[in-house]
Chains A and B, each alone.
Chain A
Amino acid sequence: MTLPSRRPRSRSAYLGVFAASIVLTGCGGGLLSSGEEGGGSDEPIVLGMITPLSGSSAAIGPYMQNGAQLAIDEINADGGIDGRELELVVEDGACDPRTATAAANKLVTDGIDISIGGYCSGATLPTLPIFEKAGVPMIIPAANSTELVEQGLSNVFLINGTGTQQADAAVEYMTGQNATRVALVDDNTSYSTDIAERTAELLEEGSGPEVVLHESVTAGESDYSANVNAVVQSDPDFVYWTGYYQEGGLLVRQLRQAGYTGPIMVADGSVDQQLVEIAGPENAEGVFATMTQTPDTIPGAEDWIADYREKFDAEPGPYSTQSYDAVRVAAEAVREAGSTDTEDVIAALEGIDGLELFSGPLKFTEEHTLSSGGFLILSVQDGKFALEDALD
């Protein structure tokens, strides 16, 4: 950690934060002194990750943590970055804005250099100003609401496709399937409404399918019969659910029970084996999904999957590859910048051109997002999500 680099541009305004970090890291002793010596010390480079380890999306946390740890171990085995090892600090964000805010403050006082976390967009949004004030660059592996980059903060980078890009993919596929009446269902969170609204905009602009219903459900309940009833009443021939997998599973099941037989598509937050389990395999069969690359759909990822399996004795899941890549992007930026200085790292991130990620060669756009979302269409085949259409 390098305190001088973390010093905010307007010192007086953020003196409180600064003072707090001195007080709180003071007991660590070594952290502070290393900062005074500058970036060239052999102190570890600390990467912080906020990911859901409890709450509704708790299943994702270990995937992300393991993915990041795998990359860190590989880089450290190669001698680290300029002799400095990487270190991972994980905090639970619980997919909850309040918990995530507390976690972000904790990571800042722990003195992390770069944040590589962020799964639920709604929980990641309030952490942006905290990391911004503390001068921590953020490489967000999973959260992808367009709202995250709309604030134009210089420290925020997304390496997952954005809501807009996902909506593009969704509309392209619906149109290709000759859908005419589309019902959109979201769960009122930032991530979910972002995709639903952008899909609605695209559909209204285009000459293809029309939006017959835009419905929101409340996450965390079991009975969606009222929503399902509204969907069935609107007589759609395509249903797009843009929320997470728990409600998704229930919704798919209840839609099928209510007699809806047409195609159902879900967004990337719903791509999890649990969706199939909850919906029941017979109901989930044939459900489409808009999704970025997962270990299963990436050609040539077999070695990576084998490494992951060997190390953690578990199967890699959604966002383990993106978290792995987030670490590699962070490492590349620090290596280029030659230090962990905020401005230098941001400049290095903006300058990255062609770093090979699972999603393809990386070059950030002006908005700090991927130039192409890399979304493809999966479908449930024999009870598992598998590639349906690469949308090339």
Chain B
Amino acid sequence: MSQLIWNGLFVGSFYALVALGYSMVYGIIKLLNFAHGDIYMLGAFAGFAMLTMAGALATSAGFLALLVVLLIAMLATGTAGLILERVAYRPLRSAPRLSVLITAVGASFALEYGMRLVAGPNPEVYPVRLEGTTVHLLGARVTVQQLALVVIAVLLMLGLQWLIMGTGTGRAMRAIAQDPKASLYMGINVNAVIARTFFIGSALAGAAGVMAGAYYGKIDFLMGFIIGLKAFTAAVIGGIGNIKGAMLGGLVLGMLEAFGTAWLGGEWRDVFAFSFLILFLTLRPTGLLGERVTERV
């Protein structure tokens, strides 16, 4: 039982990190950025490239090297998010939402198969792996590296919370989420703030990518696909557009999967996860924490 909870929390913290970017972008420009999962993949590959280049240096420095790589990879994927927004989404800002959605799907494929051209179709193995000792915590087997990763995820989320609630940029983001036109009249540089949102969301996904690479060890150019869908599900469960909802949704989805697999068997894991997506979309489209949104005219 406690093992299931821990497994769920651990997987859930990855979902949450990726779901945050989904939710932030949706909250501000009502776009489902389907390329977001591939930004996660990009982060994993950025980390892989740096660790490979650093070679023996990275291996000897271990965890510290990973932290540095994590930060640089976040900058790199953040920048990739900026470029994505500038190239693919900004020109379509006034286009119908469906066009942007299709562009997002296109951008996702472009990233996936672009990476395939660069890195090849074969999976790569991270040169630095997190190997940790196992401790028993309330009857669950927990490894030290899992704890470290969850702590990093929580720190990143706390940082984001501060950024959104305690800084000018955050206030501008919230304002645009409420009413982009009015924000423009109030002198907010809407494009710049949207770009920053993409940067932050993509950096978080990139961090999750490096963490997944270092923990699971295997990365490939399609690794972002399923986690993208799962993160989307997490965002919907928590209430899409809601930051705290994305965090909660990620953890809830992780738990649902862990318990669903234990009760019904592994082949039901995705059926279980995605049935909850459908359930929420039909019964409570605003999610667990989402507020009732009235349609703007």
Point out residues on A near B: beta carbons under 8 Å: 53-56, 58-59, 185, 188, 215-218, 220-227, 229-230, 246, 249-250, 253, 257-259, 274, 277-278, 280
Task: State whether A246 and B220 are in contact (beta carbons under 8 Å apart), knowing that A218-B269, A227-B266, A259-B141 are contacts in the complex.
Answer: yes
Contact between B218 and A216, CB atoms less than 8 A apart? no
Contact between A278 and B123, CB atoms less than 8 A apart? yes
Task: State whether A230 and B265 are in contact (beta carbons under 8 Å apart), knowing that A54-B116, A220-B226, A223-B11 are contacts in the complex.
Answer: yes
Starting from the known contacts A220-B223, A225-B11, 15 additional A-B residue pairs (CB-CB under 8 Å) come to: A54-B121, A216-B265, A216-B266, A220-B222, A220-B226, A226-B261, A226-B262, A226-B269, A227-B266, A229-B7, A249-B218, A250-B218, A259-B134, A274-B125, A278-B217
Interface residue? B284 (CB, 8 A): no
Interface residue? B52 (CB, 8 A): no
With both chains docked as a complex, state the minimum distance between the C-beta of B242 and any C-beta of chain A, in angstroms.
25
> What are 12 inter-chain pairs, A to B, with CB distance below 8 A?
A217-B266, A218-B270, A221-B226, A223-B11, A226-B4, A226-B257, A227-B261, A229-B258, A230-B262, A230-B265, A277-B125, A278-B218
Task: State whether A226 and B121 are in contact (beta carbons under 8 Å apart), knowing that A218-B270, A221-B226, A258-B141 are contacts in the complex.
Answer: no
Contact between B121 and A222, CB atoms less than 8 A apart? no
Contact between A58 and B218, CB atoms less than 8 A apart? no
Q: Which residue from A185, A216, A274 sits with its C-beta under 8 Å from B122? A: A274
| Most chain B CB within a 10 A radius of its CB, from A54, A188, A226, A227 | A226
With both chains docked as a complex, state the minimum distance between the C-beta of B17 and any C-beta of chain A, in angstroms.
13
CA gap between A188 and B271 in the complex, in Å: 13
Which residues on the B side are within 8 Å of A257 (C-beta)?
A: 134, 143
With both chains docked as a complex, state the minimum distance between the C-beta of B22 and any C-beta of chain A, in angstroms.
18
Which residues on the A side are within 8 Å of B265 (C-beta)?
A: 215-216, 230
Contact between B125 and A278, CB atoms less than 8 A apart? yes
CA gap between A227 and B227 in the complex, in Å: 17
Task: State whether A226 and B258 are in contact (beta carbons under 8 Å apart), knowing that A58-B121, A221-B226, A278-B123 are contacts in the complex.
Answer: yes
Contact between B218 and A55, CB atoms less than 8 A apart? no
CA gap between A229 and B7 in the complex, in Å: 9
| B101-116 interface code vs A (CB 8 A; 1 in, 0 out) | 0000000000001001
Contact between A226 and B266, CB atoms less than 8 A apart? yes
With both chains docked as a complex, state the minimum distance between the C-beta of B23 and any C-beta of chain A, in angstroms.
21
Interface SS of B by simple majority: helix
Which residues on the A side are within 8 Å of B141 (C-beta)?
A: 258-259
CA gap between A139 and B129 in the complex, in Å: 42
Point out residues on B near A: beta carbons under 8 Å: 3-4, 7, 10-11, 14, 113, 116, 121-123, 125, 129, 134, 141, 143, 212, 216-218, 220, 222-223, 225-227, 257-258, 261-262, 265-267, 269-270
| Most chain B CB within a 10 A radius of its CB, from A185, A216, A218, A259 | A218
Which residues on the A side are within 8 Å of B113 (C-beta)?
A: 54
Contact between B218 and A56, CB atoms less than 8 A apart? no
CA gap between A222 and B223 in the complex, in Å: 8
Task: State whether A280 and B217 are in contact (beta carbons under 8 Å apart), knowing that A53-B121, A59-B121, A222-B223 are contacts in the complex.
Answer: yes
CA gap between A256 and B198 in the complex, in Å: 39
Contact between A188 and B267, CB atoms less than 8 A apart? yes
CA gap between A59 and B218 in the complex, in Å: 14
Contact between A55 and B121, CB atoms less than 8 A apart? yes
Which residues on the B side are within 8 Å of A217 (C-beta)?
A: 266-267, 269
With both chains docked as a complex, state the minimum distance between the C-beta of B26 and any C-beta of chain A, in angstroms.
24
Contact between B7 and A225, CB atoms less than 8 A apart? yes
Q: Which residue from B10, B222, B267 sits with its C-beta under 8 Å from A216? A: B267
Contact between A253 and B217, CB atoms less than 8 A apart? yes
Q: Which residue from B222, B223, B262 sits with its C-beta under 8 Å from A229? A: B262
CA gap between A259 and B140 in the complex, in Å: 12
Task: State whether A58 and B122 are in contact (beta carbons under 8 Å apart), knowing that A215-B265, A246-B218 are contacts in the complex.
Answer: yes
CA gap between A4 and B254 in the complex, in Å: 59
Which residues on the B side are within 8 Å of A222 (C-beta)?
A: 212, 216, 218, 223, 227
CA gap between A6 and B200 in the complex, in Å: 59
Across the two chains, which residue of chain A brings its CB closest to B270? A218
Q: Which residue from B14, B123, B134, B212 sits with its C-beta under 8 Å from A246? A: B123
Which residues on the A side are within 8 Å of B270 (C-beta)?
A: 218
Contact between A55 and B222, CB atoms less than 8 A apart? yes
Which residues on the B side are within 8 Å of A226 (C-beta)?
A: 4, 7, 11, 257-258, 261-262, 266, 269
Across the two chains, which residue of chain B brings its CB closest to A247? B218
Counting from the closest, the 5 A-B pairs by CB-CB distance are A58-B121, A216-B267, A226-B261, A222-B216, A227-B266
With both chains docked as a complex, state the minimum distance between the C-beta of A219 and any C-beta of chain B, in angstroms.
9
Which residues on the B side are within 8 Å of A274 (C-beta)?
A: 122-123, 125
CA gap between A246 and B218 in the complex, in Å: 8
| Most chain A CB within a 10 A radius of its CB, from B116, B121, B269 | B121
Which residues on the B side are within 8 Å of A221 (C-beta)?
A: 226-227
Task: State whether A220 and B225 are in contact (beta carbons under 8 Å apart), knowing that A58-B122, A278-B125 are contacts in the complex.
Answer: yes
Contact between B266 and A230, CB atoms less than 8 A apart? yes
Contact between A223 and B216, CB atoms less than 8 A apart? yes
CA gap between A53 and B222 in the complex, in Å: 14
Across the two chains, which residue of chain B brings its CB closest to A259? B141
CA gap between A54 and B143 in the complex, in Å: 35
With both chains docked as a complex, state the minimum distance between the C-beta of A271 and any C-beta of chain B, in angstroms.
15
Across the two chains, which residue of chain B brings its CB closest to A245? B123
| Most chain A CB within a 10 A radius of its CB, from B134, B225, B261 | B261
